[in-house]
Amino acid sequence: MRLRDLAQSLTVLSDEAVWPDAELTGITHNAAWVEPGNVFVAIRGARFDGHQFLQDVAARGAVAVLGEGLPDGVPSPLPYLQVASARAALADAAAALAGHPGRELKVVGVTGTDGKTTTSWLTRHLLRAAGLPTGLLSTVGYELPDGELRHFPAHFTTPEAPQVQATLRGMVAAGGAAVVLEASSHALALDRVRGVPWAVAVWTHLSAEHLDFHGTLENYFADKRKLIERAPFAVLNADDPWTAQLRGIAPAEVTYSAEGQHADWQARGVQETADGLRFEVHSPLGHFAAHLPMIGRFNVANALAGMAAAAHLGATAEQLVAGLASFRGVPGRMELVANPSLAAGRAAPRVIVDFAHTPPSLEKALSTLRATTVGQLWVVLGSAGGPRDPGKRAPLGEVASRLADHAVFTEEDHRDTPLTDILAEMERGARQVGQSNFVSIPDRAAAIAHAIHAAQPGDTVLLAGKGPEDTLERDGETLPWNEGEVARTALAGRGG
């Protein structure tokens, strides 16, 4: 695409005389990523203003700049195209340069505080079981229709609009017909998914999180609500109080409930068994029995949401039943760590890795495991540092010590925040409810080993907070991390 064509597809406020007839190779808002032929989008952020890098991007071979207006006294060495919103222009331009790949796919967006990753993976699996080649873009990674899980390079911690569009183009090239995209509140607020044409929007659940970014719970809700506003069809959780404010926004909708609320999709007679969850589904497709081989009663709601979305795209009841029964879970979401002793039928502690990192999600995870634990329940957890929701540290300590028999407080991406401060807050939360069943061990690997070595056969050890993440941020360093591998090493150290 040539720059003039791109400029004409956007709402550019500057004179056409400044638009050179250059061939474009890409677009980015990060000066360090600029390559020859790129358009650079100068975004004014909380810490940096992209306009301070104009000389750098010109030297790297950029051909033009998009921005909301040059600051006083700052000349541009490149043609400058003024737009009303730099982030919106980044998203729109990225979609145009990629050839609008979302228009060639049926895109299912999933948002919510808890449950969106599992729901995304379930929906992807159900669509594939129905014969629709489906890709996935989630916080765990992304998959083309071939089913191989991939990860963005480390410098793409959160995919921006150009990476989202490039990934969608890759899915089309690989023969994809649909994609399930996990839409975070940051992605919606910062227009990272603005250029995505949604076919279905799924709402899971809302609770307080990321308030350091959104400011208030109402702002957080408003940003997540954008997904429902932009989709022609919505799948809404009738068990979530916030859903009342979402009804009627999308042109068409269905509701689901795992807790007995009146809804289009309902689960009844839920049973937690040794081989997973069994329940009756009452739906627009009829009534049928379902089996989901996962731990955790809360996953019934995730299954209903996925079934409702897949059914809207053509899946039959028979395909949904078969798809649920063959689902093997999500890495780092109630993931059972392989233990040779358990596999051989010998008594040993059960070790679970789960991403639970908010007080509500931790409470769900511990309550679920308590119901299926023969012995005592252990939990190892930390809380993120920096400005990431410091108000949840004490509540996490309270929930952990109240619901588990033993709590081990440790690190979890404390970044530049003194770890002693985070641990002290978690300990304070435990003491506020009169608990003393905790210990703080700063090194996460040592904390995991402590719990696994101390646990007895029949006990359950929950490793909470990190889930599938492959890095650990400590004192300004980013270290490689694999929670499951650390757990397996500890298990081997106690003799399996």
Binding annotation: 112-118, 157-158, 184, 192
Cross-strand pairs, 462: 352, 379
262 burial (CB, 10 Å; 0-12 / 13-18 / 19+) is exposed
CB-CB contact of 161 with 193 (8 Å)? yes
**Gap between the Cα atoms of 199 and 311, Å rounded:** 13
**Gap between the Cα atoms of 81 and 13, Å rounded:** 7
Residues in contact with 285: Cβ distance below 8 Å, sequence separation at least 6, in sequence order: 311, 316, 317, 320
Give the DSSP H or E segment for 274.
none
**Gap between the Cα atoms of 65 and 305, Å rounded:** 42
Mark residue 345 as left, alpha or beta (left: phi above 0; alpha: psi -120 to 50; beta: remaining): left
78 burial (CB, 10 Å; 0-12 / 13-18 / 19+) is middle
Determine the 3-state secondary structure of 285 from DSSP.
coil
**Gap between the Cα atoms of 81 and 68, Å rounded:** 8
CB-CB contact of 234 with 203 (8 Å)? yes
Lookup result for tokens 């940051």: 186
Q: Could you report how far apart the first and last alpha carbons of the chain are, in Å?
A: 58
How many other C-beta atoms are found inside a 10 Å radius of the C-beta of residue 201?
Answer: 28
Residues in contact with 136: Cβ distance below 8 Å, sequence separation at least 6, in sequence order: 120, 121, 124, 142, 143, 179, 180, 181
CB-CB contact of 400 with 381 (8 Å)? yes
Torsion sign (Cα): 156, 160, 162, 165: positive
**Gap between the Cα atoms of 139 and 159, Å rounded:** 9
For 157-207, give the secondary structure using H, E and C: CCCCHHHHHHHHHHHHHCCCCEEEEECCHHHHHCCCCCCCCEEEEEECCCC
Q: Binding site for ATP: which residues?
A: 112-118
Of 119, 179, 175, 118, the residue nearest 146 (C-alpha)? 175
